[in-house]
Amino acid sequence: MFSSVGSVGSAISVNPNTDLRLKANWLQANCLLVNLVKQQLFWVSPSHEVLQSWPVATGLAGAGEQEGSGCTPRGWHRIRAKIGQGEDARAVFRGRRPTGEIWSPELSAQFPERDWILGRILWLCGEETGFNRGGKVDTQRRFIYLHAVPDTKPMGVPASAGCINLQPAAMLAVFDLVAVGTKVLIQ
């Protein structure tokens, strides 16, 4: 994890004064911004300052909203649920429930095809009806999360099945910063 203070314009490829989607939805509270090009997650203030940032891995299949696509959905979202408070940073989750396992290289070797969801889950809900909410483009029904993955997984490159992946320590930090209802912009 690294922290940086700067402006949103330098952190992401958007100008909050001219991008109508951002301007119309800018908040009175801090929010999360996911930059799909830079593969970075930013914690941003209402005055557009980047307070902290972390490398992420988003959908290997790219950006997109369609159910079954393996893509990371774009647009405005909110955190629907925070799952995993008090669990080990490497606790294994399946179906949003801890399995009782703690990730290790040995466990990984035993289940090489598993899509590892570790430690904490921030379950997203789309805020834009017809774009990322409802029908075959519903982020929540697609089970799109911010979640931790093993330290061995690459960050800074698209590599996920559509979720936003973080290293375990970064996921703990993000989980502690946000509340249910926090806005998340993915672009």
Is 120 part of a structural domain of the chain? yes
Give the end-to-end CA distance of the chain in Å, rounded to a whole number: 21
Is 71 part of a structural domain of the chain? yes
Q: Answer left, alpha or beta for residue 9, where phi above 0 means left and psi between -120 and 50 means alpha.
A: alpha
Is 38 part of a structural domain of the chain? yes
Is 65 part of a structural domain of the chain? yes
Is 1 part of a structural domain of the chain? no
Is 62 part of a structural domain of the chain? yes
pLDDT of residue 25: 53
Is 43 part of a structural domain of the chain? yes
Quote the distance between the C-alpha of residue 80 and its chain's center.
12
pLDDT of residue 27: 61
The reported pTM is 0.88
Contact partners, residue 177, CB within 8 Å, separation at least 6? 30, 43, 52
State the Cα angle at 21 between 15 and 24, rounded to 5°.
100
Strand, coil or helix: 137? helix
Each residue's pLDDT, cut to its tens digit, for the chain (187 residues) gives 333 445 555 444 444 444 445 544 556 789 999 999 999 999 999 988 999 999 999 999 999 999 999 999 999 999 999 999 999 999 999 999 999 999 999 999 999 999 999 999 999 999 999 999 999 999 999 999 999 999 999 999 999 999 999 999 999 999 999 999 999 999 9
pLDDT of residue 5: 44
Which residues make beta-bridge pairs with 147? 121, 165
Q: For residues 102 and 93, what is the distance between their CA atoms, to the nearest angstrom? A: 9
Q: Which CATH number fits the domain that encloses residue 133? A: 2.40.440.10
The domain in which residue 62 lies consists of 6-186
Is 154 part of a structural domain of the chain? yes
Number of domains in the chain: 1
pLDDT of residue 133: 97
pLDDT of residue 11: 45
